[in-house]
Amino acid sequence: MVKLAEITWTKVHEYLLKNDTAILPIGSIEQHGPHSPLGTDFYIAEAVSNIIGDKTNCLILPIIPVSVSEHHRQFTGTLWVTPDIFRQYIKSIIISASSHGLKKIIIINGHGGNTPSLLEISEELRRQYGIFVAVITAFPPKLDGHAGKDETSIMLHLMPNLISKENIVDTLQHKNLGALPLTKAQRMDSAQFGWDTIDLSDTGVFGGAGKLIKPSEATEKRGKEIFENHLKGIIQFIESIKTINVNELLPKDHK
């Protein structure tokens, strides 16, 4: 494992003589129900990055801890920045890294609320700066919910000491916003709206409208299986992208 923050500038220079790829982990500081720590997304993104960095010998940039989490603001302790500040900050970090020769950045994103902003950055950096940015979620797709069975299982695997098992609560999600029925987290039939977690959940354990989200069913074994299976695909992707010339990944000129 090669962490930028733990080595000297001369060691970074040596790395860049042979490599132009780095990992940038991004987490969040936001509520994860009464049982899981505010740093859950931070810790999982960091764990994923450390493991894949070790397996691929890829440089790991320092983790970004606070991100786009205002939709959790009604739950004490949540921190957030606005999407525009988040985009500018992440963009500036990547441009500074690129100035030293890092042209392929793999973002390990621990928080789904960051995804729209990160994809927007990825497009701009690819088109205007000649930097290829790939965004990979730190979580496997189709988890059962925020602070639900799957996410809690992963934390039981990685950091069981941070889970307050006595505070785990299964939570039935609300079905309506006022008099209007909800069909998804931010949707009423064909209409979408700017949602907050508390629209569906009073505990912060969050999932689909009307569903019972059950972190009580979380197990360390389940978390280990989910986590390790997800890592395999990420490692394969990074090993492949390390060997590709960045020019092959950039868009063609406009005609």
Neighbours of 174 (CB within 10 A): 14
What domains, with CATH codes, occur in the chain?
Answer: 2-140+224-249 (3.40.50.10310)
Per-residue pLDDT tens over the stretch 5-43: 999 999 999 999 999 999 999 999 999 999 999 999 999
Predicted pLDDT of residue 115: 97
Structure confidence at residue 63 (pLDDT): 98
Show contacts of 230-237: CB within 8 Å, 24+ apart.
230/48, 230/139, 230/140, 231/48, 231/51, 231/52, 231/55, 234/48, 234/52, 234/108, 234/136, 235/52, 235/55, 235/56, 237/106, 237/134, 237/136
115 Cβ neighbours under 8 A, 6+ residues apart: 109, 135, 137
pLDDT of 255 over the 90 cut: no
Residue 253 has pLDDT above 90, yes or no: no
Q: Is the pLDDT of residue 183 over 90?
A: no
What is the length of the chain?
A: 255
Chain centroid offset of residue 223 CA: 17
| Residues 66, 114 contacting (CB under 8 angstroms) | no
Least confident of 102-106, 193-197, 212-216: 193-197
CB atoms within 10 A of CB 242: 16
Stretch 60-73: mean pLDDT: 98
